[in-house]
Amino acid sequence: MIGIINYRMGNLRSVQKAFEHVGASCLLLDAPGMIDRATKLVLPGVGAFGDGMKHLDEDGWIDPIRRFIQQGGPFLGICLGMQLLMESSTEDAPATDRPISGLGLIPGRVVRFEGESFGPGKLKVPHMGWNTLNQATPHCPLWQGLPESPSVYFVHSFFAQPTQQKVTAATADYGGQFCAAIQHENILATQFHPEKSQQTGLTMLRNFARIKRS
């Protein structure tokens, strides 16, 4: 059973319908006590980092999520759900040197598209639409059955910068390479939206549903 965490942040039903389309059993988890009913967890999300962490904290999700991952449960973060895995983010922060703390499950930070490569005068922010993935980890379980450089759908103004390059499972180019997917032990995460990426995204969700808990 795939549990989809309902922390009041976005496109939960779209993710649920996409999993159901590929024949996966899934359940919206409305409270942390429901995690025991799930063998895999998905943290989707649309919106701001600060609101996401606030809702996870207020609704009591933080410790149960960390415990599930520490116990080896397969975990998938999508878009904001990927960013929240990081140590911190400058989104909603009072200053760039005073970032907002994240779940801290992946070393690194979340930053905005800006500077010489990104932002006004170069490329539009948010990064919205289809873009090509460059697979940095060819054996990532999400990529099974996909071409080497599939196209997927993005909507975001911020992106993750992992401290360790080895956890980057894929990159994409938007005025420069950025981390588009992560693989770290039993954690998988995508900055793009598999549920909006047509057959390519459905293949990824089917692959996640087939992962067996070690």
Provide the strand spans (E) within 24-176. 26-29, 40-43, 75-78, 86-89, 100-101, 106-112, 127-132, 134-135, 151-156, 158-162, 168-173
Q: Which of 26, 91, 140, 195 is catalytic?
A: 195
Q: Which of 55, 127, 156, 193 is catalytic?
A: 193
Amino acid in the structure at residue 49:
F
Cα 44–chain centre separation: 7
Sheet holding 26-29, edge to edge: 26-29, 2-5, 40-43, 75-78, 187-190, 177-184, 168-173, 134-135
Place of tokens 């410790």: 63
114 counts as catalytic: no
Q: Which of 26, 55, 79, 140 is catalytic?
A: 79
Cis peptide before 64 (omega within 30 of 0): no
193 counts as catalytic: yes
79 counts as catalytic: yes
Catalytic center residues: 79, 193, 195
